[in-house]
Amino acid sequence: MTISNLEEIECPNGHVFEAELLSAISVSDNPKLKNLLIDEEINLVSCPECGKVFYAECFILYHDSKNELIAFVYPLSFQNQAVQCKIKMRKEFELALENFEEKQKINYEPLMLFGIEDLVLLLLSEQDIEDEEAVLKCLASKLLLDTADIAPSLARKLKIPKVLPFPRGGKKLEAKSLISGLRILIEHNSNLLHYVEFLKKISEYETIFEDIKDDIN
């Protein structure tokens, strides 16, 4: 659900006025909002007295159901109240779950962020990973690879891509098979830095595979 509220705002020159600010963003309702947010164009206001244009900070609930991302974005100045924010977030999350139509599907934890900048950085880094995943999907058949997906929230938690390469006909439920798939991909394109990083990680700690194998489909 995308929600905006009329809020009282003070401009950097001390003028007080009211403006409509977004306090909840649902990307599934309104995909364009994600780009506006990344371009830092949401909640930009212009002071009616002095004309100053600035970003009006307020609490934002960000939800992208496809990517399994729920972020509670508190104003940066709340950073020293992290514990209280976390308690508040838990309560509000439980409440929100009761209102979500797709509540059965929400089995992932919300993230707590401070400042819109942190959300923008997170979205940009996930876009980078998505670009690499798109390259893998494109190359898969040429490189005789199969791909398998894991849940976006799990991939985010482990800081790994959510589309994984396996040699065609290989066993998808084995770490060694995933490692060969990653090697084939990277030998072909060593610019896929998130996959390079993942190969390094899983070659060192094959046990990472235990965290993902039940989720592979």
Which residues are at the interface with Zn ion (CB under 5 A)? 11, 13, 15, 47, 49-50, 52
> Least distance (Å) from Zn ion to the CB of residue 53?
10
Q: How near is the Cβ of 17 to Zn ion at its closest, in Å?
A: 8
105: tokens are 């599907």
* Residue 162: DSSP 8-state: S
Nearer to Zn ion, 15 or 176 (CB): 15
Q: Cβ 32 to Zn ion, closest distance in Å?
A: 29
The smaller minimum CB distance to Zn ion, of residues 12 and 169, is found at 12
Of 13 and 81, CB closest to Zn ion:
13
> Whose Cβ is closer to Zn ion: residue 46's or residue 77's?
46
In the complex, minimum distance from the CB of residue 52 to Zn ion, in angstroms, rounded to a whole number? 5
* Helix or strand (DSSP H, E) at 20: strand 16-26
Cβ pair 40, 116 in contact under 8 A:
yes
CA distance 200 to 65: 30
Q: Which is nearer to Zn ion, 46 or 203 (CB)?
A: 46
Distances in Å between the alpha carbon of 122 and those of 5, 63, 78, 112, 193? 25, 13, 19, 12, 16
Burial letters 65-87, b for 16+ CB under 10 A, else e? bebbbbbbbbeeebeeeeeebee
Beta carbon of residue 9, minimum distance to Zn ion (angstroms, whole number): 10
| 59 touches 22 (CB < 8 A) | no
